């Protein structure tokens, strides 16, 4: 059994200069391919259940799926709740066997975010699992704009919440389909100078691969969340699988054709970060 907490995989990453990928899952096909990729690359992986995933599949089911995959894997696998927006979201994930919860209070005033995140961190730690918080709102491509992380606020947040990992807003954007942007390395350096908590980048798909790779090795960024670029691979692979024979109708047969492209794409992502 290689079920791990977020702390289990991030502390070695921080100590040895690499990062762990938080791969956003939407269903069995991608989460299974992600674990296969991690085994092929011989590295840890974080399986993430975000809001859209939870809308499609109930948390109790996702918890069992994540744990089933982890228990059969020979590499560490974290079962992570991504963007829990309420205490109840996080408490349910704890009850469903998740080994890490992320509470997103980034839209709230600093004091409210600290108070609520600390409550959830205490809940997680009492259950023997990890908690990720977010300070500074990470926006969405063609949607809400980001509010960059204030380094002084980040230091206060890390100290008062006692989170195991801290997501920051430093030029990253959710759902970006290209890599034309880049992270604010000066702001990252200032944050890192004020706190040594492991740092997390949401919207990692939009970060240029070279920068992602370099920052994984040279900073306290220990986790990059990757979703959009792998979703794009899934969509293209599915279109190809259906298009090669329009008479096909068996869902299982079609989805089997999607596995290898997703695994290969996930391996490429993991290879850029691992130690």
Asked if residue 132 lies in contact with residue 200, where contact means CB atoms within 8 angstroms, the answer is yes
Q: List all residues 6 or more positions away from 26 whose beta carbon is below 8 Å from its beta carbon.
A: 52, 53, 56, 231, 234
Phi-psi region at 20: left, alpha or beta (left = phi > 0; alpha = psi -120 to 50): beta
Distance between CA atoms of residues 25 and 132, nearest Å: 18
CA–CA separation, 8 vs 260, rounded Å?
Answer: 28
- The answer to whether 18 and 273 have CB atoms below 8 angstroms apart is yes
Which residues contact residue 119 at a Cβ distance below 8 angstroms, ignoring those fewer than 6 apart?
A: 87
Q: How far apart are CA 162 and CA 123, in angstroms?
A: 12
Reported residue count of the chain is 275
Q: Which of 82, 89, 104, 150 is catalytic?
A: 82
Residue 82 designated active-site: yes
DSSP string, 230-244: HHHHHHHHHHHHHHT
C-alpha distance from residue 43 to each of 27, 32, 56, 114, 274 (Å): 21, 15, 28, 32, 7
Catalytic residue numbers, as ranges: 82
């Amino acid at each position: 059994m290689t079920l791990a907490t977020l702390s289990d995989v991030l502390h070695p990453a921080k100590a040895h200069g690499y990062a762990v990928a938080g791969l956003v899952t939407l269903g069995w096909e991608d989460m299974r391919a992600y674990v296969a990729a991690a085994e092929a690359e011989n590295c840890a992986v974080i399986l993430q259940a975000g809001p859209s995933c939870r809308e499609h599949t109930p948390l109790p089911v996702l918890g069992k799926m994540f744990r089933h995959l982890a228990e059969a894997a020979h590499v560490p696998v974290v079962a992570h709740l991504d963007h829990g927006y309420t205490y109840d979201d996080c408490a349910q994930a704890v009850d469903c066997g998740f080994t890490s919860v992320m509470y997103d209070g980034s839209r709230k005033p600093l004091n409210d975010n600290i108070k609520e995140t600390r409550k959830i961190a205490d809940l997680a730690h009492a259950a023997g699992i990890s908690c990720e918080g977010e300070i500074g709102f990470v926006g969405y491509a063609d949607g809400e704009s980001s509010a960059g992380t204030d380094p002084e606020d980040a230091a206060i947040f890390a100290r008062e919440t006692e989170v195991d990992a801290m997501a920051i807003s430093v030029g990253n954007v959710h759902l970006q389909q290209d890599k034309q942007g880049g992270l604010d390395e000066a702001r990252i350096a200032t944050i890192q100078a004020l706190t040594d908590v492991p740092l997390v980048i949401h919207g990692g798909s939009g970060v240029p691969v070279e920068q992602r790779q370099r920052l994984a090795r040279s900073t306290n960024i220990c986790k990059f969340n990757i979703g959009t670029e792998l979703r794009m691979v899934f969509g293209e692979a599915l279109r190809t699988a259906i298009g090669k024979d329009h008479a096909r109708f068996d869902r299982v047969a079609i989805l089997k054709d999607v596995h290898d492209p997703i695994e290969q794409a996930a391996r490429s992502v993991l290879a850029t970060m691992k130690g």
